[in-house]
Amino acid sequence: MAADPRTGPGPAADPGAAALPLAGITVVALEQAVAAPFATRQLADLGARVIKVERPGEGDFARSYDGVVHGLSSHFVWLNRGKESIALDLKQDADRAVLDALLARADVFVQNLAPGAAERLGLGAEELTAAHPRLIVCGISGYGTTGPYRDKKAYDLLVQCEAGLPSITGGPDEPAKTGIAVADIASGMYAFTGVLTALYERAHTGRGGRFDVSMLEALGEWMGFPLYWTEYGGVPPVRSGARHATIAPYGPFPADDGQVFLAVQNQREWGALCRDVLGRPDLEHDPRFAANPDRLAHRDALDAEIADAFRGLSAERVLARLDAAGIANARLRDMAGFADHPQLAARDRWRTVDSPAGPLRALLPPVTVPGREAAMGAIPAVDQHGAAIRRELGLA
């Protein structure tokens, strides 16, 4: 049976995805590493059929980043559930014919190849949208398709550096990158929202379109506060470790058996902290601490006063006082602590997904819609669906 070119070459991979908002949408992804796979995984969770095109043999190179998840890569497990995998050598005519047949039936094409690679393969956005007027084409690059950096290779840490993120992260003596691939994640999320916007627009116009997302510009959007602080304040935010650069008190403080984190956001909370938590109402109107700029200017003295008030108290007791006073607080958990977080367990946020290594635990996506649950399909092996897709296209 011929496939409807508006809905793709077949039904969604997950039978339970029929009720999801992107059921019937087919995404072809020529993707690797983090940024594009992060975007397309969100689409798969919403019910889209995502066909991941990989290199024959090794597949997406993120598969070999590590082997800690029962032999699978932690990055790949995180980013690729719910997708179908087909291995294609796009320099071979027969394999290129498979990709062309998929694109003729697809709704969305996403790629994050090296600069210029898509164009060299005849997969440039302008060329594809001319050939397939209903197709939505998304390209993710490091620095954009124009400008002096257009051909520059880009990886997450390097883009963080170009965006200035390490210059404001870390302690006073040394900058630091973030512990997660924040430039990749930012660009992946903007690609995801870009696809949703384009699908909405196509529903009204009947036409597809093309757009690109730059990792530098995506992360730059997230750098708005330090950018404005520096542009109009004349100096960059001070690197302050785990403490907030521009609000005090906001950060870690010692109790007798560990650290607690607290955050004071306004004058009302400052007064409550002094009276009800520290037992020091005199500090509320101390000229050194009267307003946030004063507290920042005398932060070392303020930290010493808070540490003195917490001396002899357990972390649990300090947190109880903060809760009673309506002061935001947290305890510092490691990854094992997060995995066992009582809030996630109470809200039933964990599910099991299948994989080549067997069942694995996975968190539900953070958008919760009553009566609906994300597809969260299996993690594919390289070319696991290649033969079936070829048969479906009549190209076995």
Single out the catalytic residue among 244, 298, 341, 385: 244
Q: In degrees, to the nearest 5, what angle opens at C-alpha 224 toward C-alphas 218 and 227?
A: 115
> In 3D, which of 191, 307, 326 has the Cα closest to residue 249?
307
In whole angstroms, give the CA distance from residue 281 to residue 9. 69
Residues forming beta bridges with residue 260, ordered by sequence position: 253
Q: Is 285 marked active-site?
A: no
Q: Token digits for 390?
A: 């070829």
d(CA 351, CA 135): 33
With CA atoms as reference, report the closest residue to 27 among 131, 102, 123, 107: 107
Q: How many CB atoms lie within 10 A of CB 381?
A: 15
Amino acid at 315: A
Residue identified by tokens 């090296």 is 114
CB atoms closer than 10 angstroms to residue 68: 10
- Give the H/E segment covering residue 169: none
Residue of 294, 281, 385, 279 lying closest to 324 (CA atoms):
279
Tokens of 69: 């998840």
Q: Using CA atoms, how far apart are residues 262 and 82, in angstroms rounded to an integer?
A: 39
Q: What sections of the chain are H helices per DSSP?
A: 35-45, 74-79, 93-105, 117-120, 125-131, 156-162, 182-205, 215-222, 224-233, 267-272, 292-297, 299-310, 315-325, 335-339, 342-346, 386-392
Strands 328-330 and 209-214: unpaired
Question: Is there a contact between 254 and 307 (Cβ–Cβ < 8 Å)?
Answer: yes
Element (H, E) at 360: strand 360-363
Cα 283 to Cα 11: distance, rounded to the nearest angstrom: 65
DSSP H or E run through 26: strand 26-30
Q: Which residues participate in catalysis according to the annotation?
A: 244
